[in-house]
Amino acid sequence: MTHPIQRRQLKRRKELEIYCLGNLKKYLQETTLHGLKYLVDSSLTKWEKSFFLTAFVFCFIMVVHLVANIYAKWDSTPVIIGISPHPTPIVKLPLPAMVLCNMNQAVYSKVANYSKGSKEHALLQYLCYSEIAYDSKRENSREFKNNDLDPLDFIIAHSQPCSRMMVACLIGSVAYNCSELFREVVTDEGLCCAFNTLHPKLNYIKNYRTLDGLKTAADVVPVDWNPEMGYQANLPPKYYPRPTLGTGISMGISVILNAEVDEYYCSTSNSAGFKVNLATPIDRPLVGESGVIVPLGATTNFRIDAQISESSPAIRSINRKRRRCVFLNEESLVFYRYYTKAHCEHVCLSAFLIERCGCIPFYLPVIYDNATFCNVSRMFCADKARVEYSRLTPCYA
């Protein structure tokens, strides 16, 4: 005989089952999900009901798969790129920063008296033939192994200065003194001439070693500029980085160059000419890697189509690893004021070379106060370390 408590429990369970099954049947009959109402249709056979159930399960799996793919795409690229309806006047953008380098590594009249076997001649061979960095016999020879010459000082003293490279300069068809437009800088391509780059005090934090060869007019003031904020609100009448005047060749900058072919000692390529690199005013490029060769005896024009990418402040709330981009003020570098991909790579490369070789090549940022530039004997180590670094995972912040 069943106990009264057990009878009450069975009764409640049965009522619950009837209630749940009734609601489920009612839901299947009235739902808009196609195929489910046939599962409770008494006029259909079991095989027909099984078909609709299988079809519904298959469709459900497909939907889950598609939704998972969409979520994965959103998770990897949560930022949507669109076209801004607000045009930006080109006159509010600066002229591109331009770095011009004569591919001649040394003026012939300045180095012709260095005899073979001297430290100076060995340094010239290093500058002229980069492949000797992988020649163990040259690396271990007396003239290289004990060579303590500073490549930076040697390049500055024996390269063609900008005052001899620049013949004439025009901006917007107006002639300028080239020494008021170009600053001498040392890059991986040697001594070069830079135009419209941000002033070193505005672009670097500390420890910058640059040639202050730009002699601007008294009324031309260096101002700050960056891709996110643009120019400052109150600008002086004359300033640099110089703004764009308009479109077309006549509104750009034109430069007449003198390669002094008679003074060529050796070239970084198989011919005479120049290398040109165009970037934003805050960038410090490696011209040897990204420069474009300009031949002699011809007019070469560069057409630039400016494209502006703006980020909404709302995406700052998205994790940096998910949005895969960094605002300029989100990451600080020990050498540069502004964060860019190239600047981050330069700092990481400098740190790697200090760890491997204890010094920094003359064309990379000095990230530590006590860091030293590599002399000739240690440049071989730096070259080998650069090859090793290129195989590693980049250290983007």
Q: What is the pLDDT of residue 305?
A: 81
User: Which amino acid is located at 275 in the chain?
Assistant: K
CA nearest to 281, candidates 101, 95, 89: 95
pLDDT of residue 276: 92
Assign 18 a pLDDT band (cuts: 50, 70, 90): low
pLDDT mean over 66-93: 75
DSSP β-bridge partners for residue 98: 195, 278
At CA 301, angle to CA 295 and CA 305, rounded to 5? Answer: 135
Q: Highest mean pLDDT range out of 80-94, 150-164, 373-387?
A: 150-164
- In this prediction, residue 257 carries a pLDDT of 92
pLDDT at 43: 74
Task: Give pairs for 212-216: CB < 8 Å, separation 24+.
Answer: 212/183, 213/162, 213/179, 213/182, 213/183, 213/184, 214/179, 214/180, 214/181, 214/182, 214/183, 215/179, 215/180, 216/180, 216/240
> Is the model's pLDDT at 133 over the cut of 50?
no
Q: Which amino acid is at 166?
A: M
The mean-pLDDT minimum among 4-13, 36-45, 220-229, 271-280 falls in 4-13
Rg of the chain on CA atoms, in Å: 34
Answer whether residue 210 shows pLDDT above 50.
yes
Average pLDDT across the chain, whole number: 80
Q: Which residues of 110-132 are buried (b: 16+ CB within 10 A; e: fewer)?
A: ebeebeeeebbebbbbbbeeeeb
Report pLDDT for 100.
Answer: 92
Kindly tell me the sign of the dihedral angle through the C-alpha atoms of 8, 13, 19, 25.
negative
CA 281 to chain CA centroid, nearest Å: 13
Q: Given this model, what pLDDT does residue 168 score?
A: 92
pTM (2 d.p.): 0.74
Q: Is residue 272 within 8 Å of 259, Cβ to Cβ?
A: yes
Predicted pLDDT at 165:
92
Name every residue whose Cβ is closer than 8 Å to that of residue 344 and which is 6 or more positions away in sequence: 331, 333, 395, 396, 397
Which of 292, 306, 295 shows the shortest CA–CA distance to 252? 306
